[in-house]
Amino acid sequence: MTAPTAQPASRHRVVAAVREFVEREVKPVAPDLDHADAYPHALVERMRELGLFGALVPVEHGGLGLAVSDYARVIEELCRGWMSLAGVINSHTMMALIAQRHGTDEQRARWLPRMARGELRGGLALTEPHAGSDVQAIRTVAQRDGDHYLISGSKMFITNGREGNALALLARTDPAASPPHRGMSCFIVEKGGPGWQVLTSIAKLGYKGVDTVELLFDRFAAPAVSLVGGVEGRGFQHVMSGLETGRINIAARSVGVAQAVLEEVDRHEGSRRSPAREAMRARVEAARALVYWAGAMKDRAERCDLEAGMAKLYASETAQAVATDAIRLLGPRSQRLDGTLERHYRDTPLMIIGEGANEIQRTLIARQLVDRHGERPGALTSREGEPEERRQLVLAVRQFVDKEIAPAAQEHEGQHDGRDALPAELIERLGELGVFGALLPAPVGGLDLDLVTAAMIVEEVARGWGALGWALARHLAVSGAIAEAPGPAVARLLPALARAEILGAPAPLGRAAIAPGRPALLAVAEEGVPASSISSSGASCRLVRSDDPRVRLAAEPPALGLRALARVAVSIDQSTGAAVAVAARIHDVATLGEAAVAVGIAQAAFEAALRYSQQRSTFGKPICQHQAIQLKLADMASGIAAARLLVGAAAAAPGEGAAARARQLAAETAAAVTLEAMRVHGGYGYTREFPVERHYRDAAALLAEASADAPA
């Protein structure tokens, strides 16, 4: 196996080479190295040969020149084999990034080629015994003495501090500066000479093999040319500029470890699907999507401190949760030291703590949510990076939702007069926008949109009114599926479906939820088709109109959520309507649509909580400034973003069970977020005056549907 060549476009080759390295060389030796807590000299040398120490170093300086999102893929692959290896690489990469972004031309030419080759190898020296997340509390000082700086102080939890030969070190060159960060400078210091002492290697729960040490500097003489950028007082900004990449790295590590957990469970349990395993897989897939979303923003040079923090928070908590769930699934087998699961369980807490403890991370995320979005709707749904036509269409629907749908929903469902039905005029106005024909071809009046855009539209509509979003999602499932079915009888239905003169509604088990007062085109499973076969390729259903006298509808009792819809039991003669083999397609698109509805409901509840937290004051300040509320807002936002990305991924690349996993995660997210939104609102959230109680009820309906369709 040879090292990949230094071409920015060779990411697939780099990732493939790392995967092969992990399978052939890392996995066989990782257990022994981990239990012996032995530094992996041979593996580190192989990573050097693969060029990984120059992963983000530009090609012109001898590096691979990878994008941040591709670097995240490399880190994920390494962590599938042994998370400790990512620590060796990442700390070094953060040092290289500081040199690359903030060094002088002479410094870049001197440092970067050696860093890319792994000759100059090290990490970051920021943390001190009394200064962790609060970097401005450091006490290490660097005093100018001729053509040197004399560095004195101690550094804690330093990766590569013993085996490496260089560090990006933050010190105070002006101890009297106020605020303190204005007096901080960053140095790339190399080992050699007196005054640099490794005090001790720190024994750890996990993260074995990689050296983590406490360092003492006692008037260590660093050449003045080691001052990054050649100007004092800029070091704090230098090290902070790398935090976005650092947090994306931690998130990618988390995904890699979580994926390794899934693979270990698969090795023990085989291919048997279960709700618990599908839930684990959904969380890991969502975490991965969140990581690469943040990485793509970084690649586009967009501000992504909020998104990188959310990726780190969600992915690290996911890794911990998945490792814990795996222990529950495997029982005593999970504890055996000749397996890998116990190592993953020991490794996962590091990601919760590293690059800013998650409790601090949640506080930062909440503050950024308030600062960026305030009380405006649409937080975290800007759709930046989407094709312009898609973005403009989705934003147009959002404006309609905020202006007409959300107020109508609160008027109809927030009152006590029982006017819970979907207003016909609202459906007609939405139909004028063309969204009911989203998946239909243009010749019949449709928009001919892709499934990704349709899912975004459904989410936006559900953000205004869950019941209307549900009706739209089910309609799109039926209309989009039958548009692919041959025959004039079906073709005649399409223009009416595009204009919403008739609304499609699946009735796979003889039950449907329809808009009262409007004809429905029911897709009823043919008699004798078991529930387990409805999603099978080739399964048929019969298309019948609800106003056909041969169709019998029996009203079912009102339900807790989605109250504006009428629930009916459907019975037909099997000769009624047209038989079409599209039941599987309807099922898949409806499942995806339900996931999008759940995300929309969660988004609406989150926006209400974010807005209320700024309006409501307690103990003399808005409650959004109280840490307890900040922790909730951060978890809500991160969970919604992950669910949204998982829905988008399932729409873009439907795979076996992808839509079902997206729906399950989105429904659980909606249930959790709506409850947290109620907590934020307090007693007001329990009243019909505020929409939160409606979102809470609607989320229950989504959760019930997802659970009913889960694998046994």
Which of the residues are catalytic? 355
Residue 143's H or E segment, with its range, is: strand 141-145
Q: Which among 642, 548, 561 has a CA at the least distance from the CA of 595?
A: 642
- 657, amino acid identity: G
3-state secondary structure of 541: strand
Q: Which among 289, 360, 243 has a CA at the least distance from the CA of 634?
A: 360
DSSP 128: B
Please answer whether residues 395 and 457 qualify as being in contact, where contact means their C-beta atoms are separated by less than 8 angstroms.
no
The 3-class secondary structure across 174-191, one letter per residue, is CCCCCCHHHHEEEEEEEC
Cα-based angle 357, 363, 367 (whole degrees, multiple of 5): 145
Please answer whether residues 165 and 129 qualify as being in contact, where contact means their C-beta atoms are separated by less than 8 angstroms.
no
Cα–Cα distance between 114 and 204 in angstroms, integer?
31
Cα–Cα distance between 406 and 449 in angstroms, integer?
24
3-state secondary structure of 678: helix
Phi/psi at 402 (5° precision): -70, -35
3-state secondary structure of 332: helix
Phi/psi at 526 (5° precision): -70, 150
Is residue 338 packed enough to be buried (19+ CB in 10 Å), middle (13-18) or exposed (0-12)? exposed
- 177, amino acid identity: A
Q: Which among 555, 546, 550, 566 has a CA at the least distance from the CA of 501?
A: 546
Backbone Cα Rg of the chain: 28
Please report where in the chains the tokens 């996911």 appear, as a residue.
Answer: 318
Please answer whether residues 456 and 394 qualify as being in contact, where contact means their C-beta atoms are separated by less than 8 angstroms.
yes
The number of beta carbons lying within 10 Å of the beta carbon of residue 270 is 7
What distances in angstroms separate CA 175 from CA 125, 136, 150, 172, 694, one per listed residue? 18, 11, 14, 6, 55
Cα–Cα distance between 571 and 411 in angstroms, integer?
34
Cα–Cα distance between 624 and 618 in angstroms, integer?
10
- Cβ partners under 8 Å of residue 667, min gap 6: 594, 595, 598, 699, 702, 703, 705, 706, 707
Q: Which among 555, 509, 558, 498 has a CA at the least distance from the CA of 532?
A: 509
Q: Two tokens at 560?
A: 């807790």
Cα–Cα distance between 283 and 314 in angstroms, integer?
9
Cα–Cα distance between 368 and 711 in angstroms, integer?
39
